[in-house]
Amino acid sequence: GTRSCPNKLKDEGNKHFQAGDIDLAIECYTKAIKVCKDKKVLAVIHRNRSACYLKKVRSLVKPNKRAQDAIQFVILSDIKALYRRCQALEKLGKLDMAFKDVQRCATLEPKNKTFLETLRRLGAEIQAKVNITQTDSRVQNMFDILLDEEMEKDKREKAANNLIVLSREDAGAERIFQNNGVALLLNMIETGKPEMILAAVRTLSGMCTGHKARAMAIIHMVGIDKMCSIMAVDNEEIALATCNLFQCINDSLTGGDTREYGKEEALVMDAAKDLKTILLSLLEMLTSKKVSGHGRDQALNLLSKNVPRRDKKEKNHSRTLFTIDHGLKKILKVCGQVTELPDQLPLTENTQLIASVLLNKLYDDLTCDPERTNFKDICNEYIKSKIDPNDMDKTIHAINTISGLLQGPFDVGNALVGQQGIMEMMVALCGSEREVDQMIAVEALIHASSKMSRASFIITNGVSLLKDIYKKTKNERIKIRSLVGLCKLGSAGGDDYSLRQFAEGSTEKLAKQCRKWLCNPQIDTKTRKWAIEGLAYLTNDADVKDDFVEDEPALKAMFELAKSKDKTILYAVACTLVNCTNCYEKKDIIPELVQLAKFSKQHVPEQHPKDKKDFIEKRVKRLLKAGVTSALAVMVKADNAILTEQTKELLARVFLALSENPRDRGTIVAQGGGKALIPLALEGTDAGKVKASHALAKIAAISNPEIAFPGERVYEVVRPLVSLLHTDRDGMQNFEALKGLTNLAGYSEKLRVKILKEKALPEIENHMFEEHDQIRRAATECMCNLVTCKEVQDRYLEDGNDKLKLLVLLCGEDDDELQIAAAGALAMITAAQKKLCSKMTQVTTQWLEILQRLCLHTNPNVQHRGLVIVYNMLDSDDSELAKKLIESEMLEILSVIGKAADNPKRQEPIDTARTCLVKAMDLGLIKPFTSPS
């Protein structure tokens, strides 16, 4: 009776358990345990009671005392119970104890997959917990160091860097965020120390990147006003870093973040409101006196980058319309600031141009005439409201605003100049006593005369005005500007030698004057910049180019200015360099037409003798010697609003002209030209990208890639080179791109993989079929450097293509270089893939004849590669093939080469032939040589 009692209780317990009455089940099991004598049954009951407790633990966060006792009481030798206890402990968060239990299980049943998996998982969780507590204290620690006044500087710098680096990984950013990081970063900003502010802003940027929810939380914790006030500080680095923070926030809020949030999505509020607030705050900054010049520049840049559509295919341009409604007048106000007058907004040298670029982008983004009319009307009203004959300061503000429009949406500015009263105002200003009035008026005239077709009425009024000022004024700054105006109006003929519109004072004289000003450090940067503007026009004349390039101090002065903070200068420097290196789009002059035109008294542009090739080459040498490359490298890094697509194209043209001669490429690399070309090849106009890619190819073809493109940059060079392989590019571009890729492919496996990733292989193969000898050779050399890649070998193993056949046939061509490349590729690929040895004999009947010709070649390099192929065939485990080879004349060829005396000039082929003979002996195809006894 007693034996059945525990069983009965157990069954009852099971029923309660099934019905979900856990407490009753536990009661039954507990009674059963008390009366049970049978060890096996007892173990089962214990196990069942454990299961009940486990179920209770799951439903209660804090299990009661009895549950814990029971868990302790599990019989340790019962492995199932032990594992259940492990699961219960894990639920309680006691990972260490759970880990010990499962460790015990795993030692008892080493092959049990569940135990091993749990062991691994718990181990990893424990490790992660340890790491988190360590890093959390590390985050605190960094802030402690940063906010400790007494701490030495280098320790604080190190902590700041660590913090920035930590914030750039998602887990790190989250950790800073969870550890009260935002408040602590605000404390750092409050210290007012530039390096602290910078570190804090950069850390916030990391935290906002690609994480919408966190970016929105940070906006609300820091406050948009606060962020604007940091960007308003008079410190270029801080303004730039804050601009970057705004950009990261913008990218995260406008869908830069692709993470799945699931249920949280509802919590991530609609970002539109914040984006609008940011937009309005940036517009507010434009006309606030509290904002520094650097802050204003960055606010303009952010608007330029984020308001107009990046892609015209997007239909929605509401941000542009909103900005025009709420901010166009503010941007015009910035354009009109005259720094020489009191009580102006703080600006940098670049502000007006950045504002002009923004106006241009906004105007370009409009989609219909009513929108454009509205834009023009706002500008018109603004100008009218400022013109006041009794208040010169207001009037020159209006004229300066027109200058800004003329540098941006030219049509809008041009329409304004043509209106009643504006030209008269300019005339009046030119005659003013105040020099600032004359200066603003002359600058407006210069900007107004930038499109010749529109400039006819400016020419009639402008030339006499400018000549007048030029003669009268004692002020160098005004003299230079009026001279530039005259140059601009007088250079209608472009680089045409026989057309001179500007009779007074020959072009060379004017240019000499500009060079003198350029070299005079007493004159301010802005004014010397105008001297370069003058040269940008005058260097259309070949005599002027030649004189300028001979004048090393003037060149160096121009390069120094190109590197200065004032970036408005870039376009003028780029134009001047394009002229000096003759790399503008050329109109071909056909000699017969010149004769014909002379006969019919028509005007035809003629080429200046100094624009012939040898003169251009000399000029390039001079520019390189004066340090043009390092100036270009600095120019490429300029602020993206000022470095327009057009300027980038000009710089790319100059680079290509400079890298024409292989002997000059070393100089270009030494001065940092290699890495400066990469951004030009990746973005800009189509023509610009092609020119920059071509220059990159020239450099990549003959330089050590690690020196020319340091670090990871070398991988960015691959795509531009591959883009030059397309059939629509000209032969020279194909050829030099192949040369560049060959050099890169010879460097590292990682580079070879990158070349294949950029889909270069089909293009390279196409060029191996090319009629043109040099291109075909270059493509084959490139392939030879790529065949070590498994992916390339697989293509040769595939059936149904002529790739292997082509390679074998190229070995039979009559061109040593081509044979070296083709036979080299064949030798490497047959060594790597033995199957290709027999495939080779099936693709063409000429294989044996071609192979024999390789082995008999007079060039030891070709011969060596041929013999290696023979060795690979003997070594290919295809006994029929080896037999066929040895039964042919090949045996005689091998014997002749192998028996020859050692000869350092031909040692490789001799040794390889001997190795082949030994292999043939090993295979039992020939008997060992025996000398006659």
Measure the CA angle with vertex 285, ends 280 and 291; round to 5°.
Answer: 165
At 265 the pLDDT is 46
The correct answer on CATH 1.25.40.10 for the domain covering 6-129 is yes
pLDDT greater at residue 607 or residue 563: 563
Which pLDDT band holds residue 642 (cuts at 50, 70, 90)?
Answer: confident
Quote the CA–CA distance of 738 and 760 in Å, as a whole number. 10
* Predicted local confidence at residue 606, as pLDDT: 60
Please compute the mean of the pLDDT values over residues 280-297 and round it to a whole number: 96
Q: Quickly state the pLDDT bin for 494 (edges 50, 70, 90).
A: very low
Mean pLDDT calculated for residue range 76-89? 82
Does the pLDDT at position 733 exceed 70? yes
**Using 50, 70 and 90 to split pLDDT, how confident is the model at 497?**
very low
pLDDT tens, position by position, 847-875: 989 999 999 899 999 999 999 999 999 99
Token pair of 231 as six digits: 């960007």
pLDDT over 90 (residue 879): no
- String of DSSP letters for 707-739: HHSTTTHHHHTHHHHHHTTSTTS-HHHHHHHHH
pLDDT tens-digit readout, 511-523: 888 999 999 989 8
| Of 73-82, 373-382, 698-707, the least confident | 73-82
Q: Cα 87–92–97 angle (5° rounding)?
A: 65
Residues 6+ apart with CB under 8 A from 77: none
| Average pLDDT score over residue span 317-323 | 94
CB of 655 closer than 8 Å to CB of 674 = no
Backbone angles phi, psi at 15, to 5 degrees: -60, -50
Both tokens assigned to 554: 């003037």
**Residue 337 backbone class (left: φ over 0; alpha: ψ -120 to 50; beta: rest):** beta
For residue 884, pLDDT over 50 is answered with yes
Q: What is the mean pLDDT of the chain?
A: 85
pLDDT at 63 (0 to 100):
46
On the question of pLDDT at 697 being above 90, the answer is yes
Q: What pLDDT is recorded for position 601?
A: 58
Evaluate whether 715 touches 751 at the Cβ level (below 8 Å): yes
| Tokens matching residue 280 | 């309005």
According to the per-residue pLDDT averaged within each range, which of 323-327, 440-444, 767-771 is highest? 323-327
Backbone angles phi, psi at 312, to 5 degrees: -65, -10
User: Which percentage of the chain shows pLDDT scores above 90?
Assistant: 41
Residue 454 has pLDDT above 60, yes or no: no
> Which one-letter DSSP state was computed for residue 568?
G
Position 500 scores a pLDDT of 45
Q: Residue 543: pLDDT band by 50, 70, 90 thresholds?
A: confident
Looking at residue 398, its amino acid is: A
Q: Report the CATH superfamily, name and number, of domain 152-255.
A: Leucine-rich Repeat Variant (1.25.10.10)
pLDDT given at position 456? 55
DSSP state of 263: G
- Give CA–CA dist 853/869, Å, rounded: 12
Lowest mean pLDDT across 358-362, 827-831, 898-902: 898-902
pLDDT in tens, 176-235: 888 888 888 898 899 888 988 999 999 999 999 988 888 888 998 899 999 999 999 999
Q: Which of 82, 81, 89 is nearest to 58 (CA)?
A: 89
Question: Of 472-481, 483-492, 626-635, which range is least confident?
Answer: 483-492
Euclidean distance between CA atoms 767 and 726, whole angstroms: 10
The CA distance from 827 to 840, in Å, is: 11
d(CA 182, CA 199): 13
Crossing angle of helices 212-222 and 224-231, rounded to 10°:
80
Highest averaged pLDDT of the listed ranges 111-115, 155-159, 453-457: 111-115
pTM: 0.73
pLDDT at 493 over 80: no
- Position 133 scores a pLDDT of 61
**Residue 601: Cβ-neighbour burial (10 angstroms; 0-12, 13-18, 19+):** exposed
Q: Is the pLDDT assigned to residue 259 strictly greater than 60?
A: no
- Segment (H or E) for 907: helix 907-922
User: What pLDDT does residue 824 have?
Assistant: 94
Confidence at residue 645, expressed as pLDDT on a 0 to 100 scale? 87
Enter the CATH code of domain 270-419.
Answer: 1.25.10.10
The span from the first CA to the last CA of the chain, in angstroms, equals 107
Q: What is the C-alpha radius of gyration for the chain, rounded to an integer number of angstroms?
A: 40
pLDDT digits (tens, 9 = 90+) for 24-74: 999 999 999 889 888 888 888 988 888 888 787 666 544 455 545 554 554
Higher per-residue confidence, 840 vs 146: 840
The identity of residue 192, as a single letter, is G
**Fold match flag (152-255 vs 270-419):** yes
The domain locations on the chain are 6-129, 152-255, 270-419, 436-492
> How confident is the model over 233-249, as pLDDT tens digits?
999 999 999 999 999 99
User: Reduced to 3 states, what is the DSSP secondary structure of residue 341?
Assistant: coil
- What proportion of the chain, given as a percentage, has pLDDT over 70? 89
